Structure 1
Amino acid sequence: MNFPVQQAQGPDRIGQSTAVEQSRAVAEVQAAIYVARQFPRDVGRSRASMQAACGSMALAEKAFYRFPRAGGAVEGSTIHLAKTLAQAWGNIQYGVSEMRRDDKYRQSEMQAWAWDVEANTRHVLTFIVPHAKFANKQVQPLIDLRDIYENNANNGARRLREAIFAVIPDFFISEAEELCRDTIAKGDGKPLPDRIDGAVQVFQQLGVDADRLEQKLGRTRAQWNGADIAQLLITHKSIQRGEIAIDEAFPQARITGSEIKKSAGGAKKQGPPDEDPWAGKPTT
C-alpha cells in the first residue's frame, strides 16, 4: 500500500496568516489613499491648528533640544514638535520599528519612515544602532535589555523626526519654530521679574547659582529679557532629558558676578551674545 508523501513547505510558500496580513496591509494602504483624496488638507486650517498648538507653553517648552558638540552647542526641534506638526498638517502617517536585532554583533537594524498620503511622498531611513553608548570619552557596551531598548528608542526618535520634517513644507516648520520661541519668550503670562526669579530658583536646585547664569548669558540678572529666559528654559529641559551635562551647559565662571555687574555699569548698552539664537531680533 502506497502512502502519499507530504512534501516539506518550501521557503516560497506563504502561510494563511501571512497571506491575510499581506492582504490587510494592502487594503489599509488603499483605504488611506482613498480617504486622503476624499478629504484633502486645508492649508489654512492646518496653519490655524499649528498656531494654536505652538501658542501653548505645554508644547513650546518641549519644542527644542540643546546638546554639546565640538566645543559648542547644537540646538534644534524635538520629536514632540515634529509629531504635532504632522498632526496639524494632516494626511501623514509615520512610524519607527526595529527590523532585526543581532545580539552577536551587538546592534539593531531599524527603520523610520514618514508618508504624506495625499501627496504620495514617502521618506524612509534605514539605519544601524550599536548596543553601546559613549560616556567618559569611551565607548561602553550596553548589556541590560532596558538600556538597549531605550537606546534604540532614542535613536529611532531622532530619525523619525528627520523623516517627518522631510515630508512637511519648510515654511510650515519655520513658522512653527518661530511661534514656539515667541511663546517661550513671552512666558505664561507672569511678569518678567517673577520669571527671572523662577529661573534662578530652578537652577539653584541643580547647583547652578546666579553668577554662573549671568556668566552664561553675558549680562547681569537685572538686564535679562524674555529671550534670555527662553534660552535658560531650553537648556534646563535639555539637562532634564540628559542631552547635556550641567558643567557643559554652565562652565565654571572665570569672572565673578560682581565683576560682570561692575563692567556692565560702565557700559552704555550691551546686546545679546553671539551664541544667542535670538541675537538681532527685537526683545519683548
Structure 2
Amino acid sequence: MNYPVAEQQFAVPAAPAPTFIGQGTAVEQSRAVAEVQAAVIVARQFPRNEAQAIAKMRTGFSQHSLAVRSFFRFRRGSSNVSGETIQFAKELARCWTNVHYGVHELRRDDAAGESEMQAWAWDLETNERASTTFIVPHTRWTKTDGGTRLEDPRDVYENNSNNGARRLREMIFSVLPDWFREQAKEIATNTVERGQGDKPIAQRIADCIAHFEGLGVTVEQLEEHRSGRESGKWTNLDLGQLSIISESIRRGEVTVDEEFPQKRVTAGEIFQQHADQTSPPDTPPAPAEGARQWPAARQPGAGATS
C-alpha cells in the first residue's frame, strides 16, 4: 500500500522485534501463562467459603504473636503514625483464599539511582485487580544526615523491599472487603490488649519494664511516654501499645532514641548550674542592730584560758 508523501514523512518507525528468544525465556513465558490459567480455573472450581474464611481469620488473630505483629506505631514530628502491617494484610489474604499478590522490580537504573517497581493484588474469583507503579530512589533518609546514596546492592534490595511492602499492603486491602478487614483489626486489637497467657497484670508490667530496660529505656521514660502515669497504674491498653512499639523497634521502623527521646537541657539550666558551682560560700549573716560586738580575741568559746 502506497502512502502519500506527507504521511510517509511523519511515519513512526516500528521498534525492532527481538530476533532471538532463548529457550529458558520461552519456557518461563509459557510456564507463567499456564500458571495464571490454572489458578483462575482452580479458583472457579473451588470458590471460597466465607464462613470458613471468617473462622480462620478469628483463629489466626486470636494468637498473641500474630496480633502484636499486625500493627506498627512510630513518631513523626509531634504526632504518632499507626496502622496495620504487611503481615496483617498477608494473613487476611491467606484466610480469604484465591488472592494472588506480589511486587516486581521492572527496571533498575544505577546511574540515576532509582528503581521502577510494581505492586499488585488480584482476586481470582471476582477478577478484581489492583496495581500501582512507583519509583524508589536509592536513598536512605535520616533526620541528622539527610539523604544518603545507597551503593551496596544489599542496601538497595532492602530499601526496595521496604517501599514495595507498603504499596503491596494497600493493594491487598483494595481487593479485600472492608468489613473483613475491620473484623480482623478488632480481634487483633483485643488480643494485644488482653496480653499473653493468664499472667496477672502486675507480672506483665514487670516483664515489660525488664524488656525495655534491655533496650536502654528507663522506667521514667516509659512512665513519661504513657502520659506521666505511674507504671503501677498501667492498664492492658498501655501494655498493648508498648508491645506494638517494641515490635516496631525490632522491625527497624523506628529507633529507641526516636520513640523515647532524651530530655533536652536548656541554656538557662546550664547557666544556672554553672552559677551554682562557681558562687562563693555563704557568709555568716550580719549581727542584728544593737547587739553586742565581741572582739575577735574575746569571742565566747574562742579558746581563751583563765
Q: How would you bin the TM-score normalised by the shorter chain? A: 0.7 to 0.9
Write out per-residue CA displacement over residues 71-122 of structure 1, whole angstroms, 9 at most, x where no aligned residue. 2110011111111110000000011111111011001111111100001001
Q: How does 1:1-284 map to 2 (within 5 A)?
A: 11-13=17-19, 15=21, 17=23, 18-135=25-142, 136-189=144-197, 190-218=199-227, 219-252=229-262
Counterpart-to-counterpart distance in 2, 1:28 and 1:57: 36
Paired letter, 1:159 = R
List per-residue Cα deviations over 1:152-199 (Å, max 9, x = no partner).
111111111111111111111111111111111111122111110011
State the superposition RMSD in angstroms. 1.7
Q: What secondary structure, in the 3-state scheme, does the structure 2 residue paired with 1:232 have? A: helix
Cα displacement (A) at 1:65: 1.0
Q: Distance in 2 between matches of 1:12 and 1:120?
A: 32
TM-superposition CA deviations, 1:209-246 (whole Å, max 9, x none): 11111111121112111110000011111112221222
Query: Which residue of the partner structure matches residue 301 of structure 2?
Result: none
Letter paired with 2:153: L
What amino acid is aligned across from residue 237 of structure 1 in structure 2? Answer: E
SS at structure 1 position matched to 2:81: strand
Larger radius of gyration: 2
Q: Hey, what's the Cα distance between the residues in 2 that align with 1:87 and 1:14? A: 40
* TM-score normalized with structure 2 length: 0.76
SS of structure 2 residue aligned to 1:97: strand
Aligned residues: 245
Residue 245 of structure 1 aligns to which amino acid in structure 2? T
Q: Is the 8 A contact 1:123 1:166 kept in 2?
A: yes
Deviation at 1:21, TM superposition (A): 3.4
Q: Which runs of 5 or more structure 2 residues have no equivalent in the other structure?
A: 1-15, 265-306
Change (3 A) 1:45 1:14: farther
Aligned equivalents of 2:81, 2:42: Cα separation in 1: 40
- The CA distance in 2 between the partners of 1:138 and 1:253, in whole Å, is 23
TM-score, length basis structure 1: 0.82
Q: Counterpart of 1:11 in structure 2: which amino acid? A: A
After superposing on structure 2, the runs of 4+ consecutive aligned residues of structure 1 that deviate more than 6 Å are none
Once the two structures are superposed, what CA deviation does each residue of 1:1-25 show, in whole Å capped at 9, x if it has no partner? xxxxxxxxx5255636344433332
Q: Percent identity?
A: 49
CA–CA distance in 2 between the matches of 1:143 and 1:12?
A: 32
Q: How far has the Cα of 1:36 moved from its partner?
A: 0.8
User: Using the alignment, how far apart are the partners of 1:70 and 1:115 within structure 2?
Assistant: 36
